[in-house]
Amino acid sequence: MNLKTLLLGTCSAALLCGFANAETLTIATVNNGDMIRMQGLTDDFTAKNPDIELNWVTLEENVLRERVTTDIATKGGQYDIMTIGTYEVPIWAKQGWLVALDNLGADYDADDLLPAIRSGLTGEDGKLYAAPFYGESSFVMYRKDLMEKAGLTMPDAPTWEFIADAARKMTDRTAGINGICLRGKAGWGENMAFLTATANAFGARWFDENWAPQFDQPEWKNTLDFYVKLMNDAGPQGASSNGFNENLALFQQGNCGMWIDATVAASFVSNPKESTVADKVGYALAPDTGLGKRGNWLWAWNLAIPAGTQKAEAAEKFIAWATSKDYTKLVAEKEGWANVPPGTRSSLYANADYEAAAPFAKMTLDSINAADPKNPAVKPVPYVGVQFVAIPEFQGLGTTVGQLFSAALAGQMSVDDALAQAQQVTTREMTRAGYIK
Amino acid sequence: MATENTRGLARLMLAPSVGLLLVWMIVPLAMTLWFSFQNYNLLNPANVSWAGLFNYQYFYTDPAFFQSIWNTLLIVGGVLLITVVGGIAIALLLDQPMWGQGIVRIMIISPFFVMPPVAALVWKNMIMHPGYGVLADINRALGLQPVDWFAQYPLFSIIIIVAWQWLPFATLILLTALQSLDGEQKEAAEMDGAGFVSRFVYLTLPHLARSITVVILIQTIFLLGVYAEILVTTNGGPGYASTNLPFLIYRTALLGYDVGGASAGGIIAVILANIVAFFLMRAVGKNLDK
Amino acid sequence: MARAVSTRRTVVFTIAAWIIALILFFPILYTIITSFKSETEAIQGFGIVPSGTVESYAAVQAQSNYFKFFLNSVIISVGSTLLALLVAVPAAWSMAFSPTRRTKDILMWMLSTKMMPAVAVLVPIYLIFRDTGLLDSRVGLTVMLTLINLPIVIWMLYTYFREIPGEILEAARMDGASLWGEIVYVLTPMAVPGIASTMLLNIILAWNEAFWTIRLTTTNAAPLTAFIASFSSPQGLFWAKLSAASTLAIAPILIMGWFSQKQLVRGLTFGAVK
């Protein structure tokens, strides 16, 4: 009987939904903290727009990417707004799959968007195809106390040589301290994000101007050799299955002297509710090797409207709301300045309240500004993207190469073998895709 | 005449199932076959063209191809070995008198109710993690180095996780079979002075043969398709150490969005699965006729 | 003396069985325990005693409406099970009582329809679902899961029906029972345990199916597997929340399984008796 009541209950609820004449937007989003917070704050939006209802689909990053890509490519029409990364935007815009955001409103102030972020979302026609919700670069987070104990001082702009030296000096495995924690888990958005960005600092690149893979060049060998040796000497156990979250947990538990990863991590490691080392964290720019490029990446989660939706107007209203300065203010009022989505607007970094709440703000801004997706490597490249190559083939390719490099890290394959195989699979894939004639 | 009638009726009763499954088999198979001869990347839908056998050749020459087939078979074989042997042992144990049998049985069958992605996440982060997994804690308490499961034994770790999920299924079926073993027969054998081993070999095992066959057949079907556990734990690495055929297809289909290549991979997987099924039927299928 | 031996044996068996059971159950138990920890406690591992907080459950409910997902899971798994039984019972019946030379081949063929890896057919199926308007509908998902599990259901029923002795049928026929009477009064009562356990097993399989249920739904039809997908690996600490979400997702099926395990076991013979 209970079940019956229950079923009847839903049926009537469903009917009511059917008869309501509000426009319903289905929004696909990734399950990161800033997005979840946005879900909680949407009353503000629906109060201002009573004729629009919001339907959230929150998914883990990999599943989300799979779902929205399948849907947009097959024109499934399941979503009105999609949360997508900097990697997807140029590829999809080129296919004509995204609606240009021309009507974000007079007070949107698109010029306030950080130039590095904005340029990644702008199509060849100069129009904005996605609006950034939050942005990030990568930098060094380090333990001030351990650095001091090792008798060293972290410069604002360290070199890899210094980082490696410091990591080895800080390591004290009996005390559970690893000098440095870096990503090792295979995946284009996992170890390859870090390694591709780092390779830039070592003068390496994925492809030369003719799309010939470059894994057979000495720069890649230097990069991978350096990485594997450093991790063997000063990295944590099980590094080859560590991604962002695993390293975050290690750092928060006080097991890492340094960690080079996304700038958004700073708000987690400096949060005393989560982190045991909250008051001991310092920040520095991603290291270089004196060749003129730092290994700091650039990423943003953006809101975009798939072409073909009937509700583009309402969707654009929502996007304007969620990525506006007013939304920033709303979060600050309700949840405090430390929880404001970072990395998209210059005005945020001019705000004294934010500076006070987020000690890592300046370093984040400097890192984002220093990233140059159009010229990521020391040598010229035919592609866009710092920690990825913005071509459709990269997800599969990056994951395969990531598997090989994680085997090198785990000691199951030599660095030379890993690079030779990476060169082979990349050549194969690029030939097939028609880049190499 | 009655038999004529029954036979006609029997066909009629069978028809819906066969029809549905026929459609369910043919439509996706035909579409997959069609796509497997196309150059079709989902992210570049404007460029669809006839590819001939190129997708097959491409999939077959993937550096991970042979290892992935080997890994597929290892996963199936490893999990079957653990679940059948473990299942028999646990079933034998559960068949004995003991206190709290109901609770014990509930605990043992519970893993079967856990969704595969949850199982993989729990095992990866809370059990096998070299830093804060329980196994690492135990090792440290014993003064040993924690084992880095997913780097050192990636395939074995995955086999353990999958076997954990399927052990209850095997146990349950074998236990039911065991309980149907005639008590009198057992007693008679005991009276004859047959020891535990000979009773097991000559009485119990033949009695279980049919259930073991069913366990093997049904599990094989599911195990040939394992990939969610790999995706969550090792992403197919390090190297290709834990890449199996479904994972290779996943990489082609949902990372590369290469529909043509993934379709070719799917067809290859179906052919391989049928080969496995053929040998399996020859090896154990006769038990079904009993 | 015999008594003493048997008591000692019982003690040994009891200890052995409990150890094995606890090991196998541990990951689930640990998940449940972790769900009552705070995030910082959760990350510190097994040694930390949970503070008994329910903050993770609150956070999970605040982010996703559990009840909606739960209801979809119930509707889809029960619906697909009933649908599968509707088709499978007659088929299994006919194969068990009027077997032909091809029966075994048909059974094997049915099982072989499960051999196509789901990832390989995602795009074709997605296209079909799009064109038939079945994306994100409970109906579509119910049909999908029915087709996926149908072979298993037929197999289970077939093996069970085969154990119903033919002589009983003969006897009923001698008594002049019609075919209908045969089915209703003689066979059905004997088949109930088999059908019941098939049903239970199929509900479990449908409940836990985590590929199609995530790929073919967005909001209206999304079941608990999609609910879980919104809590696994976000940035930041998530262990306690994922544990709470997992506990919520598996609790209904776990409780159902616990209460019905006798029925589940009774019918799971898969042809063992003969």
Q: What is the pLDDT of residues C155-201, one digit of tens each?
A: 888 888 887 777 777 777 677 667 677 767 777 777 787 888 888 88
Chain A neighbors of C66, CB-CB under 8 A: none
Helix (H, G, I), strand (E, B) or coil at A52: strand
> Cβ–Cβ of B239/A403 closer than 8 Å?
yes
Burial B240-259 (b: 16+ CB within 10 A, else e): bbbbbbbbbbbbbbbbbbbb
What residue in C sits closest to A73 (Cα-Cα)? Answer: C123
- pLDDT computed for residue B28 by the predictor: 87
Helix (H, G, I), strand (E, B) or coil at A40: helix
Tokens of A238: 């099980």
> Cβ–Cβ of C136/A78 closer than 8 Å?
yes
pTM: 0.87
**Which single residue is written with the structure tokens 């949902």?**
B254
- Residues in CB range of B156: below 8 A, 6 or more apart: B78, B149
Chain B neighbors of C270, CB-CB under 8 A: 173, 176-177, 210-211, 214-215
Mutation to test the B interface, candidates C31, C73, C116, most B Cβ within 10 Å: C116
Asked if the C-beta of B106 comes within 8 angstroms of chain C's C-beta atoms, the answer is yes
**Which single residue is written with the structure tokens 């506990």?**
C247
Number of structural domains chain C divides into = 1
Q: Give the pLDDT band of residue A381 (cuts 50, 70, 90).
A: very high
CATH assignment, B56-289:
1.10.3720.10
Return the number of other C-beta atoms located less than 10 Å from residue A170's C-beta. Answer: 22
Parse chain A into domains and list their residue ranges. Answer: 18-136+299-357, 137-297+384-432
| Angstrom distance (rounded) from CA C233 to CA A244 | 10
| Angstrom distance (rounded) from CA A115 to CA A97 | 24
> Cβ–Cβ of B231/A74 closer than 8 Å?
no
What residue in C sits closest to B281 (Cα-Cα)? Answer: C108
With DSSP H G I counted as helix, E B as strand and the rest as coil, what are the percentages for chain A, rounded to 5?
50, 15, 35
Residue C129, domain member (yes or no): yes
Chain C neighbors of B269, CB-CB under 8 A: 115-117, 120
Q: Give the pLDDT band of residue B233 (cuts 50, 70, 90).
A: confident
What DSSP assignment string belongs to A252-296?
HTT-EEEEEEETTHHHHHT-TTT-TTGGGEEEEEPPB-SSS-B--
A213-227, C29-43, C212-226 — which one is most confidently predicted on average? A213-227
pLDDT above 60 (res A171)? yes
Chain A neighbors of B46, CB-CB under 8 A: 95
Q: Give the pLDDT band of residue A13 (cuts 50, 70, 90).
A: very low
- pLDDT computed for residue A272 by the predictor: 87
- pLDDT computed for residue C51 by the predictor: 83
- pLDDT computed for residue A5 by the predictor: 45
Parse chain B into domains and list their residue ranges. Answer: 56-289
CA distance B144 to chain A (A): 13
> Cβ–Cβ of B255/A395 closer than 8 Å?
yes
Among B155-164, B216-225, C21-30, the minimum mean pLDDT is found in B216-225
Pair B56, B268: CB distance under 8 Å: yes
Asked if the C-beta of B50 comes within 8 angstroms of chain C's C-beta atoms, the answer is no
pLDDT above 80 (res B24)? yes
Give the mean pLDDT of chain A.
89
Q: Looking at chain B from residue 67 to 86, which residues have their Cβ under 8 Å from any Cβ of chain C?
A: none
CA distance C26 to chain A (A): 22
Asked if the C-beta of A94 comes within 8 angstroms of chain B's C-beta atoms, the answer is no
Q: Give the pLDDT band of residue B2 (cuts 50, 70, 90).
A: very low
Cross-strand bridge partners of residue A213? A207
What mean pLDDT is predicted for residues A188-217?
94
Task: Specify the DSSP element, H or E, that contains B36.
Answer: helix B2-36
| Angstrom distance (rounded) from CA B275 to CA C109 | 13
Mutation to test the B interface, candidates A92, A276, A403, most B Cβ within 10 Å: A403
CA distance B81 to chain A (A): 26
Residue C39 CA: distances (Å) to CA of A143, A278, B125, C56: 22, 15, 14, 8
Peptide bond preceding B154: is omega within 30 degrees of 0, i.e. cis? no
> Cβ–Cβ of B10/C97 closer than 8 Å?
yes
- pLDDT computed for residue A262 by the predictor: 93
| Angstrom distance (rounded) from CA B20 to CA C186 | 29
pLDDT above 80 (res B279)? yes
> Cβ–Cβ of C230/A58 closer than 8 Å?
yes
Asked if the C-beta of B120 comes within 8 angstroms of chain C's C-beta atoms, the answer is no
Q: Give the CATH number for residue C125.
A: 1.10.3720.10
**Which single residue is written with the structure tokens 């995602």?**
C122
Residue C274, domain member (yes or no): no
Chain B neighbors of C147, CB-CB under 8 A: 20-21, 24
> Cβ–Cβ of C271/B93 closer than 8 Å?
no
Helices (H) and strands (E) in chain C, counts: 13, 0
- pLDDT computed for residue A105 by the predictor: 87
Helix (H, G, I), strand (E, B) or coil at A18: helix
CA distance A409 to chain B (A): 8
What residue in C sits closest to A76 (Cα-Cα)? Answer: C130
Residue A203 φ/ψ region, left for φ over 0, alpha for ψ in the -120 to 50 degree band, beta for the rest:
left
Tokens of A257: 């002297």
> Cβ–Cβ of A57/C135 closer than 8 Å?
no
Residues B45-95: pLDDT tens digits? 777 888 888 889 888 888 889 999 999 999 999 999 999 999 999 999 988
Task: Specify the DSSP element, H or E, that contains C72.
Answer: helix C66-97
| Angstrom distance (rounded) from CA B115 to CA C246 | 9
Residue C39, domain member (yes or no): no
Q: Chain-centre distance of CA C216, in angstroms?
A: 20
Return the number of other C-beta atoms located less than 10 Å from residue A4's C-beta. Answer: 8
CA distance B52 to chain C (A): 18
Chain B neighbors of A250, CB-CB under 8 A: 131
Q: Give the pLDDT band of residue C5 (cuts 50, 70, 90).
A: low
Q: Give the pLDDT band of residue C1 (cuts 50, 70, 90).
A: very low
- pLDDT computed for residue A16 by the predictor: 43
Chain B neighbors of C18, CB-CB under 8 A: 100, 104
- pLDDT computed for residue C162 by the predictor: 80
Residues A269-294: pLDDT tens digits? 988 888 889 999 999 999 999 898 98
Give the mean pLDDT of chain B.
85
What mean pLDDT is predicted for residues A73-77?
89
Q: Is A84 exposed, middle or buried (0-12, 13-18, 19+ CB in 10 A)?
A: buried
Q: What is the CA radius of gyration of chain B?
A: 23
Q: Looking at chain C from residue 84 to 113, which residues have their Cβ under 8 Å from any Cβ of chain A?
A: none
Instruction: Name the DSSP class of A301.
Output: E
Q: Looking at chain B from residue 216 to 255, which residues have their Cβ under 8 Å from any Cβ of chain A?
A: 231, 233-241, 243, 251-252, 254-255
Q: Give the pLDDT band of residue B14 (cuts 50, 70, 90).
A: confident
Q: Which of B2, B167, B259 sits opposite C123 (nearest CB)?
A: B259
Q: Give the pLDDT band of residue C74 (cuts 50, 70, 90).
A: very high
At CA A257, angle to CA B231 and CA A295, rounded to 5?
A: 65
**Which single residue is written with the structure tokens 């996304």?**
A262
Q: Which of B46, B130, B254 sits opposite A66 (nearest CB)?
A: B254
Neighbours of chain B (3+ CB pairs under 8 A): A, C
pLDDT above 80 (res B118)? yes
Instruction: Name the DSSP class of A106.
Output: G
- Residues in CB range of A34: below 8 A, 6 or more apart: A133, A134, A301, A339, A341
Q: Which of C90, C95, C125 sits opposite B28 (nearest CB)?
A: C125
> Cβ–Cβ of A10/C44 closer than 8 Å?
no
Task: Specify the DSSP element, H or E, that contains B39.
Answer: strand B38-39
Task: Specify the DSSP element, H or E, that contains B189.
Answer: helix B183-191
Which spans in B37-147 are helix H? 54-60, 65-94, 101-109, 116-122, 134-141
CA distance A364 to chain B (A): 29
Chain B neighbors of C70, CB-CB under 8 A: none
Residues constituting chain C: 274
What mean pLDDT is predicted for residues C37-56?
80
> How does strand A256-262 pair with strand A131-143?
antiparallel
pLDDT above 60 (res B169)? yes
Residues C98-138: pLDDT tens digits? 778 888 888 888 888 888 888 888 888 998 999 999 999 99
- pLDDT computed for residue A1 by the predictor: 39
Pair B122, C240: CB distance under 8 Å: no
The domain made up of A137-297+384-432 is a member of CATH 3.40.190.10: yes
Chain C neighbors of B228, CB-CB under 8 A: 210-211
Give me the interface pTM, i.e. the ipTM.
Answer: 0.86
CA distance C13 to chain B (A): 6
What residue in C sits closest to B31 (Cα-Cα)? Answer: C124
Pair A341, A348: CB distance under 8 Å: no
Give the mean pLDDT of chain C.
84
Residue C139, domain member (yes or no): yes
Asked if the C-beta of C65 comes within 8 angstroms of chain A's C-beta atoms, the answer is no
What DSSP assignment string belongs to A369-390?
HH--TTS-SSS--SS--SSS--
With DSSP H G I counted as helix, E B as strand and the rest as coil, what are the percentages for chain B, rounded to 5?
75, 0, 20
| Angstrom distance (rounded) from CA C36 to CA C52 | 5
Q: Which of A185, A408, A433 sits opposite B235 (nearest CB)?
A: A185
Asked if the C-beta of C188 comes within 8 angstroms of chain A's C-beta atoms, the answer is no
> Cβ–Cβ of B237/A240 closer than 8 Å?
yes
Tokens of A254: 């006080």
Q: Give the number of beta-carbon pairs within 8 Å between A and B.
A: 116
Pair A190, A402: CB distance under 8 Å: yes
Mutation to test the A interface, candidates C136, C212, C235, most A Cβ within 10 Å: C235
Residue C229, domain member (yes or no): yes
Residue C15, domain member (yes or no): no
Tell me the longest C-alpha to C-alpha distance in chain A. 74
- pLDDT computed for residue A115 by the predictor: 92
> Cβ–Cβ of B43/A73 closer than 8 Å?
yes
Pair A297, A387: CB distance under 8 Å: yes
Chain C neighbors of A248, CB-CB under 8 A: 235-237
Residue C19, domain member (yes or no): no
- Residues in CB range of A269: below 8 A, 6 or more apart: A141, A248, A251, A252, A259, A275, A277, A278, A281
Residues A112-161: pLDDT tens digits? 999 999 998 998 888 999 999 999 999 999 999 999 999 999 999 999 99
Residue C43, domain member (yes or no): no
pLDDT above 50 (res A20)? no
**What percent of chain A clears pLDDT 70, i.e. is strictly above it?**
95
What mean pLDDT is predicted for residues B103-131?
86
What mean pLDDT is predicted for residues A187-196?
92
The domain made up of A18-136+299-357 is a member of CATH 3.40.190.10: yes
Neighbours of chain C (3+ CB pairs under 8 A): A, B
- pLDDT computed for residue C100 by the predictor: 80
> How does strand B49-50 pair with strand B38-39?
antiparallel
pLDDT above 60 (res C273)? no
Q: Give the pLDDT band of residue B288 (cuts 50, 70, 90).
A: low
